[in-house]
Amino acid sequence: MVNNNLSEQERKQLAESILAGDLIPAKYGPSIVEGARELELVWPGKSDHVEQIVLPFQSIEQIDEPREKDISELSLFEFDNDSGRQIAGWSNKLIWGDNKLILSSLNSGQMRSEIDEAGGIKLIYIDPPFDVGYDFSMEITVGANSVNKEPSVLEQLAYRDTWGRGAESFVNMLSERLRLMHALLSGDGSIFLHCDSRTKHLSRLVLDEIFGSSNFRSEIIWKKTNSPKAQAKGLGAQYDTIIWYSKDQNFTFNQPFRSFDEKALKAYSLTDENGDRFQTTSLVAAGSQLTPDRKQFEFRGVTAPWLYKLETLMEMDREGLIYQTSTDGLRKKVYLKDVEGVLVSDIWVDEDVPPFQGRNEENVDYPTQKPESLLERIIKMASNEGELVADFFVGSGTTLAVAEKSGRKWIGADIGRFAIHTSRKRLISVQRARKDAGLTYRSFEILNLGGYQRQAFMNTVGLPEEANTKSLVVKRREAFVDLVLRAYDGLKSDQAAPFVGFKGNTAIYVGQIDCAISELEVENCIRHALDLGISKIDLLGFEFEMGISPLLADKAKESGLTLTLRYIPNEIFDARAVASSSVSFFEVGYVEIEPQVNGLEARVTLLDFGVFYRQEDADVVERTLKLGATKIIVDKGQVLKIKKAKSGEIERENVTSNWQDWIDYWSIDFNFESRPEIVRVIEQELEFEKTTGRFIFENDWQSFRTSKNRNLELNSVWHQYPKKGSYKIAVKVIDIFGNDTTKVIQVKVG
């Protein structure tokens, strides 16, 4: 294949050098070596390795606002005539977890075939945490007040991995994920990376290396604020950058236009005899457009290298589209009525892509939220209706909401529970609005990685082979377990694996420092406890897998086993707190409900809800708070406002005096065991489906708070069952921090 980047003279010189055995200058490398890099960014610990770990996705919840039976627009997919729910076709995905493992599992796992059947991912938009001050903390509304939500341990680890070693760790995080995204993106797809002035130079270099500089499409400047913050020394930051690369030269592009403003209308200031506005454009080739085959010829007395053939120019003349200037120059008329709008450039300061304001109707009180108009322009520019778009740093869910409204399929992922919860509420609101308007929408499911995160695949592939590394891993695990047991007042024991110790006659299981305790781990503990004759077990973890089956505690109880899930608090890393025995391991929240049955109908009333979180010790805050200051904290399951008067007098106000203040969302599956989880597996090179023994929570009804409406319904609607019998009802409650608690009850109807 001839390389058109080299001139004839350069090719001749290269041939002579090769025949003479001379060294070839390095500058020719990218032109003559297939796959050679034009530019490479190097940093300590850099690797071209692409993650190949594949973990199974576990479907936690299916959300599909039931459709009216007489709506005819549902030809996009199959739906059930009785329930109005989607039963076939692509279901959108909202996935909780580390996006590196999610991307790896999407690339090489069973869901890849589902993505390929949907046409592949045509567009990826990502807005990674490029702000070195962004640490996953945010303000949460509680009644008339707000409290700072501290990051979870998983979020803290994600922040450390992104910025722990400064630019080096940011580039490493970005490179690993962009390689996976490149592999997942369809051949005609594009990626848009949102960043700021501090990281765009690094991002461009990484993108050049992975996607190739020839696939760079544009660097878009977006004016993010009308009022930049004043700087003591320097200029206020007023814009972000969105970097656009395609995967190949053949990519989807729909020319965007913006509406005419007063300035744009002035360009069409000329009018014809009918009063129609037009502007003029050149008919003559500019210097950059001149090519050897472009010949000059005469047209209406003017000899020039015309942009169009003579026949075309003559046709324009007959249609009255040639304009003669006052100096007898010839130009083409472009009528206002014949154009869609003003062509969009790479500077987006238009009124139709405005900065995001807090008073915006879209506002969901998420710190990194972007305006829907920004994502609408990107999605419509680089994808078509029915195609699949993805966002792997989903945040408040703007990309997904716009994709749904624009008729696209979507995949979203985030490591933050609160991000997943915020997106869930937002997407339910989109479903409701489109249902009310008689428009199409797809169901979506919430998933996480079964056998979640690093510990799961460590158990599968084993620890690193190097003895010294293995020793270090084991020592770190032992030190962590010792710390947790000391803080929990437990005694270490290696005689009852997988349990690490005992507190009285209660066996203790400790989860991993960098991942959530999975449902598989809980089932494993139950099985071993029964085999060992243990009657009580405490499971201690920083996080618990989203949607851990509510039947597990009942299953354990039926077998005579008491199972308790407790959160490991951050205070265990404070030596003073551990030494003073002031560390509290709080239980996962509890919920109380009451069912009501009337014939074949049933409904649920929410009676009580409790959590036990602690982010700060109220006594410590009181001692350290400055005179005249006020602080809102979370301690012992309460949100407290602590005021210290200038006299030193302390005043405490319980902001969450009502249990309802802790609830942000609750939903009901009125027939919990109606939809078993089915997964595709490959055994002995044969692919087939099998049930896992779990059930998917089908969201039949929900009530939740929004930034505009803080009210919460405590009574559900009446649900109609098809026939009399016994049914299990699952109730899921999500608190103001995005953590879920589920309870299952049984009712008889009819």
Q: What is the pLDDT of residue 557?
A: 84
Q: Is residue 350 pLDDT above 90, yes or no?
A: no
| CATH number of residue 405's parent domain | 3.40.50.150
Q: What is the pLDDT of residue 572?
A: 81
The answer to whether residue 49 sits within a structural domain is no
Give the C-alpha separation, 465 to 476, whole Å: 17
Percent of the chain scoring above 70 in pLDDT: 87
Nearest to 306 by CA among 315, 295, 317: 295
Residues 6 or more apart whose Cβ sits within 8 Å of residue 60: 96, 445, 446, 447, 448, 546, 547, 696, 697
The answer to whether residue 687 sits within a structural domain is yes
The answer to whether residue 153 sits within a structural domain is yes
Give the C-alpha separation, 469 to 480, whole Å: 17
The answer to whether residue 156 sits within a structural domain is yes
Mean pLDDT, range 106-118, rounded to an integer = 90
Adjacency order of strands within the sheet including 701-704 = 701-704, 663-669, 725-735, 740-749
Mean pLDDT, range 382-401, rounded to an integer = 96
Mean pLDDT, range 350-377, rounded to an integer = 82
Q: Is residue 461 pLDDT above 50, yes or no?
A: no
Q: Is residue 170 pLDDT above 80, yes or no?
A: yes
Verify that 101 and 197 share a domain, yes or no: yes
Q: What is the pTM of this model?
A: 0.79
Q: Is residue 72 pLDDT above 60, yes or no?
A: no
Q: Could you report the per-residue pLDDT of 428-444, keeping only the tens digit for each?
A: 999 999 999 888 899 99
Mean pLDDT, range 480-495, rounded to an integer = 91
Give the C-alpha separation, 509 to 490, whole Å: 11
Q: Are 83 and 66 in contact (CB under 8 A)?
A: yes
Verify that 195 and 294 share a domain, yes or no: no
User: What backbone torsions phi and psi does residue 127 show, to the nearest 5 degrees?
Assistant: -130, 75
DSSP state letters, 659-693? GGGGEEEEEEETTGGGSEEEEEEEETTEEEEEEEE
Mean pLDDT, range 15-40, rounded to an integer = 70
| The one-letter amino acid at 369 | Q
Q: Report the range of poorest mean pLDDT among 246-250, 296-300, 692-696.
A: 692-696
Structure tokens at 132: 């070195």
Q: What is the pLDDT of residue 465?
A: 47
Nearest to 648 by CA among 629, 631, 627, 621: 627
Mean pLDDT, range 404-410, rounded to an integer = 96
Q: What is the pLDDT of residue 278?
A: 92
Q: Is residue 74 pLDDT above 50, yes or no?
A: no
Q: Is residue 682 pLDDT above 80, yes or no?
A: no
Mean pLDDT, range 91-120, rounded to an integer = 91
Task: Quickly state the pLDDT bin for 210 (edges 50, 70, 90).
Answer: very high
Mean pLDDT, range 85-106, rounded to an integer = 89
Verify that 559 and 659 share a domain, yes or no: no
Mean pLDDT, range 712-719, rounded to an integer = 95
Q: Could you report the per-residue pLDDT of 566-580, keeping only the tens digit for each?
A: 888 777 876 766 776
Q: What is the pLDDT of residue 29?
A: 64
Mean pLDDT, range 178-187, rounded to an integer = 95
Choice between 556 and 115, residue whose per-residue pLDDT is larger: 115
Verify that 304 and 353 share a domain, yes or no: no
Verify that 526 and 446 share a domain, yes or no: no
Mean pLDDT, range 716-733, rounded to an integer = 94
Verify that 268 and 241 share a domain, yes or no: no
Q: What is the pLDDT of residue 288?
A: 58
Verify that 413 and 499 share a domain, yes or no: no
Task: Quickly state the pLDDT bin for 290 (edges 50, 70, 90).
Answer: low
Q: What is the pLDDT of residue 606?
A: 95
DSSP state letters, 518-564? PHHHHHHHHHHHHHHT--EEEEEES-B-TT--THHHHHHHHTT-EEE
Q: Are 536 and 561 in contact (CB under 8 A)?
A: yes
Q: What is the pLDDT of residue 53?
A: 79
- Which stretches does DSSP call E strand in 378-470? 388-391, 409-414, 444-449
Nearest to 514 by CA among 565, 560, 462, 473: 473
Task: Quickly state the pLDDT bin for 462 (edges 50, 70, 90).
Answer: very low
Distance from first CA to last CA of the chain, Å, rounded? 76
Domain closes at, from 401, 432, 450? 450
The answer to whether residue 236 sits within a structural domain is yes
Q: Is residue 691 pLDDT above 60, yes or no?
A: yes
Q: Is residue 212 pLDDT above 70, yes or no?
A: yes
Structure tokens at 446: 């919430």
Adjacency order of strands within the sheet including 277-282 = 270-271, 277-282, 330-335, 322-324
Q: What is the pLDDT of residue 103?
A: 94
Query: 200-211 and 167-184 are packed helices; what angle lies between their axes, rounded to 10 degrees?
Result: 40
Highest mean pLDDT among 301-305, 346-350, 391-395: 391-395
Over the chain, what is the mean pLDDT? 84
Verify that 321 and 349 share a domain, yes or no: no
Structure tokens at 139: 């303000």
Choice between 238 and 99, residue whose per-residue pLDDT is larger: 99
Structure tokens at 286: 């500019």
Nearest to 149 by CA among 447, 305, 365, 461: 365
Q: Is residue 599 pLDDT above 90, yes or no?
A: yes
Q: Facing residues of 703 across strands?
A: 666
Q: What is the pLDDT of residue 3?
A: 52
Domain closes at, from 400, 429, 450? 450
The answer to whether residue 545 sits within a structural domain is yes
Verify that 517 and 658 share a domain, yes or no: no
Nearest to 410 by CA among 92, 86, 65: 92
Q: What is the pLDDT of residue 444?
A: 95
Residues 6 or more apart whose Cβ sits within 8 Å of residue 173: 128, 161, 162
Q: What is the pLDDT of residue 141?
A: 77
Q: Is residue 702 pLDDT above 50, yes or no?
A: yes
Verify that 249 and 125 share a domain, yes or no: yes
Residues 6 or more apart whose Cβ sits within 8 Å of residue 456: 55, 449, 450, 515, 518, 520
CA torsion, ordered 346, 348, 353, 354, to nearest 10 deg? 170
Give SS3 for 133: coil
Q: Facing residues of 668 across strands?
A: 701, 731
Choice between 125 and 34, residue whose per-residue pLDDT is larger: 125
Residues 6 or more apart whose Cβ sits within 8 Å of residue 345: none
CA dihedral sign, ordered 552, 556, 557, 562: negative
Choice between 665 and 589, residue whose per-residue pLDDT is larger: 665
Question: How many domains are there within the chain?
Answer: 5
Q: What is the pLDDT of residue 550?
A: 58
Percent of the chain scoring above 90 in pLDDT: 40
Domain closes at, from 340, 358, 381? 340
Q: Could you report the per-residue pLDDT of 315-329, keeping only the tens digit for each?
A: 999 999 999 988 888
Give the C-alpha separation, 374 to 26, whole Å: 42
Verify that 335 and 393 share a domain, yes or no: no
Structure tokens at 705: 């708070």
Choice between 633 and 317, residue whose per-residue pLDDT is larger: 317
Give the C-alpha separation, 335 to 279, whole Å: 7
Q: What is the pLDDT of residue 424?
A: 95
Domain that holds residue 321: 262-340
Mean pLDDT, range 457-469, rounded to an integer = 45
Verify that 87 and 193 share a domain, yes or no: yes
Q: What is the pLDDT of residue 433?
A: 93
Task: Quickly state the pLDDT bin for 475 (edges 50, 70, 90).
Answer: confident
Structure tokens at 726: 């016994």
Q: Are 669 and 697 in contact (CB under 8 A)?
A: yes
The answer to whether residue 483 sits within a structural domain is yes
Q: Is residue 41 pLDDT above 80, yes or no?
A: no
Q: Report the range of poorest mean pLDDT among 3-7, 107-111, 502-506, 518-522.
A: 3-7
The answer to whether residue 47 sits within a structural domain is no
